[in-house]
Amino acid sequence: ILPLSQNWRYSMCENFDVSFCENFYLYLLNHLKEVHFELVLKPIVLLRRHLREVRRYLLDVFVFDLVGPSRGGVLNGVFGKPN
């Protein structure tokens, strides 16, 4: 489970960093058993060409929904629907 705050996706985009993005997708590839390959590869390709598009893609597609500690603190809804 990633140590994310409620505003994580917004703060990440404000402080967007190429190496962070690459590491994030490597994390997904290495730690999630069922990863929709296109959802992982598409942002990596975009990353090298259009950082702003990747930012929007991350906000629109990778929707993180933190469940409160009372319900186990589980990270839900890692993948949203592609546009």
Q: What is the pLDDT of residues 19-45, one digit of tens each?
A: 666 677 677 667 665 555 556 666 666
Q: How far is CA 78 from the centre of its chain?
A: 7
Q: What is the rounded distance in angstroms from the CA atom of residue 10 to the CA atom of residue 16?
A: 10
Q: What is the rounded distance in angstroms from the CA atom of residue 60 to the CA atom of residue 83?
A: 7
With a threshold of 0.85, does the pTM exceed it?
Answer: no
**Each residue's pLDDT tens digit, 38-63:** 566 666 665 666 666 656 666 655 54
**Ranges of each domain in the chain:** 6-67
Longest Cα–Cα distance in the chain: 42
Across 64-73, average pLDDT: 38
Across 54-75, average pLDDT: 48
Could you write out the DSSP letters of every residue in 28-57?
Answer: HHHH-SS--HHHHHHHHHHHTT-HHHHHHH
